[in-house]
Structure 1
């Protein structure tokens, strides 16, 4: 694992595209998923892990009841992974984590909360191709057959449940998949999800055993206002990433924060 602490916007941009050049394509095509956190001390714990100490025992109950009560929203014949994606997207505690293909979207989440501008932020950069090298053959063959680097929910139909995923992946493994384009939020955030084959194993713990698979970029708190202003100028903001009145309200609330909360 490589940890970089940047000191300027230009240094940050260079860090994002480190190892992005792909010679066989003659293009800048990084194979990284990005996750931005406003506090560098935060870990990659899932919403399920944060729910309760006995969260592993709650996972099946949560998903079963979500499917039972959401049957009018999602077609019954959709795959398990489609249901799981919808549940995560709408706030159900799951073992999934939200990621993005866009470093700029990740930066938004580092700088969206003004209350945390006194803390250093972090961007986790995970090489999903490196992560997928540790998958069992039946899953790596699925990627190779499609010529893909990340999964879709359709490609995961061969794994009909998390229990089966846990059984197939022994020792524990992780994978990244793109959710279905359920709404504009998924599309605009250039979203993908990660999942680990254990409800009790955090992705940061798994990555700690595979340090070649990721790096971290530390964002000094003194740099956050400059980043926030430049993202707003580039139209990377709540109004775009959360289409609708909720996102508009979040954007306006931040635009009109009291002057004593803004930088001198």
Structure 2
């Protein structure tokens, strides 16, 4: 895993889009998943990890209850993976972790909270072609069959329809990325992607530490955060777009018109 301290907005653009040229397609088509965090010390623990205790058993119990009580809602779910994506999307603790195909969406989540502008942020960049090399054979075969680099819920269900069967594909730890169904405009506008590991107790950051290729951490210093935020606003990467509806509109206006703290140094 590589780590790079960013020095400017221009350098940040170069690093976010580095390696995006696809020679076989003759197009700029990167195979990267991005995740932004306002604090560079934040780990990649899932919401399920953070519960503590016997969370691997809690996962099954909570998901079973969610499926039971959520039936009849406006979101039809055909597979376990649809249900898992829906549960994650609505705040249930799961083994999924939120990512995006968009580097600018990742930067939004790095800069959304103005109260954390005094600390460095981070963008994780993971090449899923590299992490796919460690997938068990049945999953690799499915990607090859579909000509894909990331999974859909339907693709996963064909190979492993239950979490139990997913856990038992191999004893080795692995991570895969799957694109959730378009449950609503928020999923679509955020260009959403989920990561999932074959052990609910695993931590993705610990797994990625041992990857020699395809994993980068870009540290965005606190002094750059306000510049990044202002340029994202100009590019219309805002809460109003990423969280469609009145709640997102209010979040955007509350942040956009938040006064700069008196006496704050340049960049904060």
TM-score, normalization by structure 2: 0.95
Q: CA deviation at 1:75?
A: 6.7
Q: Which residue of 2 aligns with 1:59?
A: 59
Shift in Å, 1:160: 1.3
Residue 117 of structure 2: aligned partner: 117
Distance 1:104 1:137 in 2: 33
Aligned-residue CA RMSD (Å)? 1.4
Say whether residues 1:154 and 2:154 are aligned partners.
yes
What is the deviation of 1:104?
A: 0.3
Is structure 2 residue 29 aligned with structure 1 residue 29? Answer: yes
Which residue in 1 is equivalent to 2:251? 250
1:87 corresponds to: 87
C-alpha contact 1:35 1:125 (8 A) present in aligned 2: yes
SS at match of 2:14: helix
Which stretch shows the higher mean deviation, 52-61 or 87-96?
Answer: 52-61
Q: SS of 2:168's equivalent? A: helix
Decide which moves more: 32-41 or 198-207. Answer: 198-207
Once residues 209 and 106 of structure 1 are traced to their aligned partners in structure 2, the CA distance between those partners, rounded to angstroms, is: 23
Of 46-55 and 89-98, more deviation after overlay is shown by 46-55
Would the aligned equivalents of 2:180 and 2:194 in 1 still touch at CA under 8 Å?
Answer: yes
Q: Does 1:222 align with 2:216?
A: no
Q: How many Å separate the matches in 2 of 1:209 and 1:124? A: 15
- Whether the aligned pair in 2 keeps the contact of 1:123 and 1:218 (CA below 8 Å) is yes
Q: Which runs of 5+ in 1 are unaligned?
A: none
Alpha-carbon contact 2:77-2:83 (below 8 Å) kept: no
Q: Alpha-carbon deviations, 1:34-81, whole Å to 9, x = none?
A: 000000000001011112233222111110110011011267761000
Q: 8 Å contact 2:66–2:87 — kept in the other structure?
A: yes
SS at match of 2:213: helix
**Does the CA-based 8 Å contact 2:38-2:111 persist in structure 1?**
yes
Q: Distance in 2 between matches of 1:200 and 1:106?
A: 25
Q: Is the 8 A contact 1:166 1:172 kept in 2?
A: no
- Tell me which moved more, 193-202 or 157-166: 157-166
Q: Is the 8 A contact 2:127 2:214 kept in 1?
A: yes
| Contact 1:37/1:109 (<8 A) preserved | yes
* 1:226-237 mapped onto 2 (5 Å cutoff): 226-237=227-238
Determine the structure 2 residue equivalent to 1:136: 136
Correspondence list, 1:155-234, <5 A: 155-157=155-157, 158-234=159-235
Question: Normalized against structure 1, the TM-score is what?
Answer: 0.96
Structure 2 residue runs without a partner (length 5+): none
Match in the other structure for 1:11: 11
What is the match of residue 102 of structure 1?
A: 102
Equivalent residue of 1:156, what SS?
Answer: helix
Q: Say which is worse superposed, 233-242 or 56-65, in terms of deviation.
A: 56-65
Secondary structure in structure 1 of the residue aligned to 2:123: strand
Rounded to whole Å, the distance in 2 between the matches of 1:131 and 1:213 is 8
Match of 2:43 in 1: 43
Superposed CA deviations along residues 164-188 of structure 1, whole A, max 9, x for unmatched, are 1110132121100000001000000
Distance (whole Å) between structure 1 residues aligned to residue 265 and residue 238 of structure 2: 19
